Structure 1
Amino acid sequence: MKKHIQSTKLLFSLLISLFLLASCTQNEPLKIALSKGYPYEPYQNYYTWIKSADSTIQVQEMYNYQLEEALKMMDDCDALLLSGGADIYPGRYGKEADTARCGGFDLKRDTLEFALIKKAMEMEIPIFGICRGQQMLNVAMGGTLYIDIPTDYDTTVVHRMKTTYECIHDMYVEPNTKLSWTTAIIKGETNSNHHQAVEKIADVFKVAARSSDGLIESIEWKNPEEKAFLMAVQWHPERMDLSNPLSGNLLEAFIDAVKESVIAKKEDAE
Structure 2
Amino acid sequence: MATDLSVILPRVLIVSRRTLRKNKFVDFVGEYHLDLILGYGAVPVIVPRVTGVHRLLESFEPIHGVLLCEGEDIDPSLYEAEHSGLSPEEFEEIRRLHASDTAIDKEKDSIELGLAKLCLERNIPYLGICRGSQVLNVACGGTLYQDIGKEVPKKRPECERVVHIDYENYDGHRHVVKVVANTPLHHWFQESLDEKKMEILVNSYHHQGVKILAQRFVPMAFAPDGLIEGFYDPDAYNPEEGKFIMGLQFHPERMRRPDSDEFDYPGCPSAYQEFVKAVIAYQKKLNCSTALPPKPLKLDQEMENRRKVIVRSFFIAKDMYTTGRGMNPSKESELEAGAEFLESNTVLSLQQENRLKQMGATVRNGSSYFQRLKMNEERDRAAKTLMRKMSVEQLSELMSFYHTMGQICSEVLDKKLHGIVNDVGSC
TM range (shorter): 0.7 to 0.9
Structure 2 unpaired stretches of 5+: 19-25, 96-101, 155-159, 257-261, 292-427
1:218 to 224, 227, 230: 230
User: How many angstroms does 1:84 deviate by?
Assistant: 1.1
User: For 1:32-64, what per-residue CA distance to the aligned partner results, in whole angstroms no more than 9, with x for missing partners?
Assistant: 10022585456333223322334x623232423
1:158 aligns with 2:173: no
Structure 2 contact 34–44 (Cα < 8 Å) conserved? no
- 8 Å CA contact retained: 2:64, 2:283: yes
* Cα displacement string for residues 72-131 of structure 1 (whole angstroms, at most 9, x for unaligned residues): 134222100111111111111222766963622211111111111112223321000000
* Change in 2 beyond 3 A, CA 1:94/1:71: same
Write the letter of the residue equivalent to 1:240.
Answer: M
Cα distance in 1, alignment partners of residues 277 and 176 from structure 2 = 27
Deviates more, 1:225-234 or 1:85-94: 225-234
Find the residue that maps to 1:247 and give its secondary structure: coil
Quick one: which of 31, 34, 46 aligns to 1:47?
A: 34
1:249 equivalenced with 2:270 (yes/no): yes
1:86 aligns to what?
72
Residue type at the aligned position of 2:139:
A
Instruction: Looking at secondary structure, tell me which structure has more strand per residue.
Output: 1
**1:200-211 aligned within 5 A:** 200-211=212-223
Structure 1 or 2, whichever has the larger Rg, is 2
Instruction: Give the residue type in structure 2 aligned to 1:58.
Output: P
Amino acid at match of 1:29: L
Please tell me whether the aligned partners of residues 54 and 111 of structure 2 are also in contact (alpha carbons under 8 angstroms): no
Q: Please, which of 187, 203, 217 is the counterpart of residue 191 of structure 1?
A: 203
Aligned amino acid, residue 40 of structure 2: A
Q: Return closer, same or farther for 1:235/1:79 CA change in 2, 3 Å cut-off.
A: same
Query: Cα RMSD (Å) of the superposition?
Result: 2.8
1:34 aligns with 2:14: yes
| Counterpart Cα distance in 2 of 1:247 and 1:76 | 28
Hey, what does 1:14 align to over in structure 2? none
Whether the aligned pair in 2 keeps the contact of 1:24 and 1:259 (CA below 8 Å) is no
- Of stretches 129-138 and 100-109 in structure 1, the one that deviates more from structure 2 is 100-109
Secondary structure (helix, strand or coil) at the match of 2:268 reads helix
Alignment of 1:56-67 (within 5 A): 57-64=43-50, 66-67=52-53
Report if the CA contact (8 A) 1:35-1:82 is conserved.
yes
CA contact (8 A) 1:83 1:133 kept: yes
User: What is the number of equivalent residue pairs in this alignment?
Assistant: 247
Map 1:7-22 onto structure 2 (within 5 A): none
Does 2:183 align with 1:177?
Answer: yes
The code of the aligned residue for 1:119 comes to L
Q: Secondary structure at the match of 1:112?
A: helix
Against the structure 1 CA distance between its residues 69 and 152, is the aligned structure 2 distance closer, same or farther, given a 3 Å change threshold? closer
User: For the residues of structure 2 that align with 1:246 and 1:63, how far apart are their CA atoms?
Assistant: 31
CA distance in 1, matches of 2:205, 2:139: 21
Give % identity.
28
Q: More displaced, 170-179 or 247-256?
A: 170-179
* Pair 1:68–1:85, CA change in 2 (3 A): closer
2:52 maps to a residue whose letter is Q
Q: Structure 1 42/156 Cα, relative in aligned 2: closer, same or farther at 3 Å?
A: farther
Q: Which residue of 1 aligns with 2:362?
A: none
Deviation string, structure 1 residues 162-182 (Cα, Å, up to 9, x no partner): 132022011121112222233
Q: Which has the higher contact order (CA 8 A, sep 6+)?
A: 1
1:71-82 correspondence to structure 2 within 5 Å? 71-82=57-68
**Partner-residue secondary structure (3-state), 2:212:** coil
Contact 2:17 2:71 in 1 (8 A): no
Structure 2 residue 127 is matched with structure 1 residue 128? yes
The alignment's TM-score, normalised by the length of structure 1, stands at 0.80
1:106 maps to 105
Q: Is the 8 A contact 1:37 1:43 kept in 2?
A: no
**Is 1:261–2:266 an aligned residue pair?**
no
Q: Residue 66 of structure 2: SS of its match in structure 1?
A: strand
For the residue of structure 2 that corresponds to 1:223, the secondary structure is helix
Q: CA deviation at 1:267?
A: 2.9
Q: Which moved more, 1:103-112 or 1:130-139?
A: 103-112
Name the CA shift for 1:152/1:74 in 2 (closer, same or farther; >3 Å).
same
What is the distance in 2 between the residues matched to 1:90 and 1:37?
A: 19
Runs of 4+ in 1 over 4 A off after TM superposition: 23-27, 96-100
Q: Which shifted more, 119-128 or 64-73?
A: 64-73
The structure-2 alpha-carbon separation of the partners of 1:78 and 1:139, relative to structure 1 and needing over 3 Å to count, comes to: same
Aligned residues of 1:114 and 1:140 also touching (Cα < 8 A): yes
Post-superposition shift, 1:203? 0.7
- CA–CA separation in structure 2 for the residues paired with 1:215 and 1:108: 28
